[in-house]
Amino acid sequence: MHSENNQKCCSEEHSGCGACCAQPVSIPSLTKDETEILNAAAVSAFLPIVKFILKSSQSDHFESVAFAPVYLSDPTDDMDKVRIYAAALTRLKDLGLITLDYDVPLKNFDYGIFAKSTAYKYFESTVKDAKDMPDFVFDVATMEYGSLALTPQGQDVAQVV
């Protein structure tokens, strides 16, 4: 935070140079889950995320995002936990603390952990159950890989929380 001395320093001796005054970090009120995600991202630099996608075996043109963003803290996370994390990720993104990128999946990460997760198994079983419904087009469960990264502001906040 700025002190009276820093304000004087910045305004008189080092006008505009930033040598003695860093802008204070504005820390939004974060939930436990938001803080957990920020801390995990601060340690790893990037975290894996996925989208649960519905596709059709009848046509390559039928595709729909069933659920996103999906983040797991543990492969046993159920859909309730995944929904909580999705809300946390969406809020962190809206606050400008993280980016979510599906064009840049992590190269050395085994996304198989998502396929084996409790949440994805539930998603697959839901799609399988829906196959028997008349005129149901989306009969294939799949994923799109992505990554989460801290923004510079997110890095600042993660250092303080």
Question: pTM for this one?
Answer: 0.78
Helix (H, G, I), strand (E, B) or coil at 140: strand
Cis-peptide, bond into residue 69, ω within 30° of zero: yes
Task: State how far the Cα of 114 lies from the Cα of 117, in Å rounded to an integer.
Answer: 5
Supply the pLDDT for residue 24: 52
Residue 17 is predicted with a pLDDT of 43
CB atoms inside a 10 Å sphere around CB 108: 4
Burial of 73 by CB count in 10 Å (0-12 exposed, 13-18 middle, 19+ buried)? middle
d(CA 66, CA 55): 10
* CB atoms closer than 10 angstroms to residue 39: 12
Provide the strand spans (E) within 43-130.
46-55, 63-70, 98-101
Question: Where do the structural domains in the chain lie, given as residue ranges?
Answer: 1-28, 31-160
Residue 160 pLDDT: 80
pLDDT of 144 reads 96
* CA–centroid distance for 22 within its chain: 28
Is 3.30.70 the CATH number for 31-160?
no
Tens of each residue's pLDDT in the chain, 161 residues:
333 333 333 444 444 444 444 555 567 799 999 999 999 999 988 999 999 999 988 887 888 999 999 999 999 999 999 999 999 999 999 999 999 999 989 998 999 999 999 999 999 999 988 877 777 788 899 999 999 999 999 998 988 87
Per-residue model confidence (pLDDT) at position 68: 96
